[in-house]
Amino acid sequence: MSASSDVVARRGIALLTFAFILSQFYRSCLAVMAPELQHDFGLSPAGFGALSSCFFLAFAVAQIPVGIAFDRFGVGRPTALLLGVGAASAIGFVLAPSGTVAMLAQMGLGLACAPVFMGLLHYASEQLSEKQYMRVVSRSNAMGMIGALCATAPLGWASQWMGWRPAMALSAVCMVGACYGVWRFVRDEGHAEARHVPMGAMLAGSAKLLALRPLWTLIPLCVAMAAGTAFRNAWSGPYLANVYGLNAGTRGVALTLLSLAGFATAFLLPVLVRGSSLKATIGGWACLAMSGGILLAIWPDTGVAAAVALMALLSTIGMLHPLVMAQGRALIPAPLRGRGLGLLNTFVFLGSALTSWGFGLIANAGHLGGWTVPGTYAAIFLSAVVLVALSLVPYIFSPTGLPPKAHR
């Protein structure tokens, strides 16, 4: 790579990383504001579950079309277009007069954030060597946690002092800046082969990826990673408010610890991979994270310090995302890589939408059925544990790469 090409690649990766930081913020921001949003929009627990799932549902639905666009046009143009939708939606969420409008804005934000992490992976894989790729992507993934951190104590304090709408207005300004930066500086092209394939054939090729049996050993884990992330991103705030009575500022401090745990895990996981293997690290860490959910299911009201520590452990399962994508990348032929990563990401965020919605249904059932508040959250934690445990069964049989003939 020439010096000028290296500068272009680094600038593109930096801008996509900034967009990813915003994506992480929007994935996580509802948790700290949950009681206030439920009050202002008149939402039941099921209604808040629907609100929090809108982002992830739109995110999931967009993944395969975004993957096709990346293969055909490159990362820059499709990402800038959807970030423009996100800028309008971020403003719409700040001004939302009702829960319905807020849900539509969340869907727009989900569409905007849908291409960002996959675009970062795809752009980096095209611009960097294999050795550079894992290092840079792991670092960008860790930096994304800055967004999650901003969605905790800073957002909680700001919401408590001046209200959640002014606090969210700054993030809307940042979304506008990210849209401009990606549109202006991320310039790349898709695969020449993909550009000349009819759209119908590309859709058919995406559907054929479902016939790759090795991917089905990863897909259940893609869904199950949401067991920790969906709880952190949406239900950790209500849990701390309902079980322990914490206000927005204190909830923000507690959720900061969850994000710091994710930040540390993002740096630790590549070290573990070098010391053992990709598959062993993914499987072992998933079991470790699941143990946090088991203990919370048994003792949902053991004390706020222990609860935060165990929630932090459970939520770190989401940090396996880039490792699972790296394993999946090795299972997908190069011309289909954008669509293949899009398919896996579809299941990741479909899992987030379904679990967030499902947790809301459990919370609503507990409310209507007269369950104790700790008992309701124990049922939610138990459902998360079952989901992870079931996903690990097919993962045991997952390969780490395609046979040589499959790459031809």
The percentage of the chain sitting over the pLDDT mark of 70, rounded to a whole number, equals 91
* pLDDT greater than 50 at residue 408: no
Residue of 252 and 202 predicted with greater confidence: 252
Token reading at 189: 């092209």
Instruction: Please state which of the ranges 54-63, 129-138, 183-192, 258-267 shows the lowest mean pLDDT.
Output: 129-138
- Separation between Cα atoms, residue 334 and residue 323, nearest integer Å: 18
Token reading at 284: 């072992």
CATH (domain of 239): 1.20.1250.20
Domain count for the chain: 1
* pLDDT greater than 90 at residue 65: no
How would you label 61-80 residue by residue, b for 16+ Cβ within 10 Å and e otherwise? bbbbbbbbbbbbbbbbbbbb
- Separation between Cα atoms, residue 359 and residue 384, nearest integer Å: 9
The model's pTM: 0.74
- Print the domain residue range for 375: 3-407
Phi-psi region of 162 (alpha: psi -120 to 50; beta: other; left: phi over 0): alpha
- Separation between Cα atoms, residue 194 and residue 202, nearest integer Å: 8
**Tens digits of residue pLDDT in 110-166:** 999 989 988 887 788 777 766 677 677 777 877 887 888 888 878 888 888 888 999
* pLDDT greater than 50 at residue 277: yes
- Separation between Cα atoms, residue 72 and residue 193, nearest integer Å: 8
Give the per-residue pLDDT at 16. 93
Band (406; pLDDT cuts 50, 70, 90): very low
* pLDDT greater than 80 at residue 304: yes
Band (15; pLDDT cuts 50, 70, 90): very high
**E strand or H helix at 324, and its extent?**
helix 321-329
